[in-house]
Structure 1
Amino acid sequence: MNSQSPCPSISYNLNCRMVYESAALERLCQVVRIRGFRVARMAVESAGDQLDIQLTLEGTRPIEMLKAQLEKLHTVAEVTLSREPAGFSERATLASG
């Protein structure tokens, strides 16, 4: 048996702005999953034809790799990393539970 524990996950806060399109969120979640990250928290706000998405992700891989892949999606306008805890809006938090 292997007594070593796996590498601890690191938590990242990522903000993404994308053009609303059918299946846009599914594509974003698929890229996150394929790149080895787990969504710990997600808040989505719709503003006209845009989606503002705040993600708290956990993973052991470099977050810059995920950021680069998300920026390649044709519906993504901007991806930013936040060093401080994600500032989820009160409205988005209330809507989720």
Structure 2
Amino acid sequence: PGTIIVPPLLVRKPGRPRRNRRKAYDETISEKKARCCSICKPPGHNKTTCAGGAVGSNSRKRTRAEANGHTSQAQSSQAGSSGGTMPASKKPKKSTQE
């Protein structure tokens, strides 16, 4: 009757920590905002599952060259007409070995 029982020490378990803490039973649960479709605006679905159809979608993905404003044909014609020199950004670095 005179001994005090001490709870076990808290040991941090391995693995990724949880994103949110566990809420107590008396805490209010916040309502999540529904995501809306960026094409037709009502909530309940998103752009990929929109029944309104694709407005201006391309069937093929843009390559990095097209995103920068260059096409593959323009690059090949520029490389042939430039005399084989590379642009300053693409030149290999000079080594300082003797």
| TM-score, L = length of structure 2 | 0.19
Bigger share in strand: 1
| TM-score, L = length of structure 1 | 0.20
State the structure with more CA Rg.
2
Bigger share in helix: 1
